Chains A and B, each alone.
Chain A
């Protein structure tokens, strides 16, 4: 089956530093990946759509200069939280669009928990 990994699984950083989260599709190529943010006991909030070889498409209200997305290869997308602040603490989840079948089928990574002190 299609597997998506994320690294790191959790990270603690100081306020003002930048944090990079990687999302990899392990056994398939993903031209499109998605980045979500999730607060405790809440649903997933789509932040942006990451397209291989082109600029990411951000959802309304998400600062593109704050959350930098790079999708440099067909198996890797990265999310960099720049100048992180405590309010950026959250659970970040990526997903990759399935290579075949229904367009809306996504495979989700295990998530990255970010804590900004």
Chain B
């Protein structure tokens, strides 16, 4: 069974601070996605990482896929109050099913 362990589950920081969210597994994933979700809305895809060791940047967000494709991280530089939300990592499930395996999520609160 493929599982994704996401940490931390809750994070409360001041505006301007940096943070990192981790997503770990003992299984290899062909790809991994990061989503951001606001209360009362559906998740919005931020990025998909596919290649081991891959690093992608989206403004102040940096995403990394581990060399072995078993883990990933999301780093936010100089967090802003608008970054507040639930961050979810999701790995591609068993082949040909199209399913996603979601981590537990990280609730981020950025205080002014």
The answer to whether A104 touches B102 (Cβ under 8 A) is: no
Given the known inter-chain contacts A41-B86, A43-B88, please indicate yes or no for A104 contacting B42, CB distance below 8 A: no
In the complex, which residues of chain A have a beta carbon less than 8 angstroms from the beta carbon of B24? none
Is chain B's interface secondary structure helix, strand, loop, or mixed overall? loop
In the complex, residue of chain B having the shortest beta-carbon distance to the beta carbon of A109 = B42
In the complex, which residues of chain A have a beta carbon less than 8 angstroms from the beta carbon of B98? 32, 34, 49, 97, 103-104, 106
Complex Cα distance A110/B105, Å? 18
Report the count of interface residues on A (CB-CB < 8 A).
Answer: 25
In the complex, which residues of chain B have a beta carbon less than 8 angstroms from the beta carbon of A45? 102
Complex Cα distance A91/B40, Å? 8
The answer to whether B41 touches A110 (Cβ under 8 A) is: yes
A100 an interface residue at 8 Å Cβ cutoff?
no
Question: Knowing that A4-B42, A104-B33 are A-B contacts, what are 15 other residue pairs whose CB atoms are under 8 Å apart, sorted by A's residue number?
Answer: A6-B42, A32-B98, A34-B100, A44-B43, A46-B99, A49-B99, A91-B40, A95-B42, A97-B98, A102-B48, A104-B100, A108-B44, A109-B42, A110-B41, A110-B42
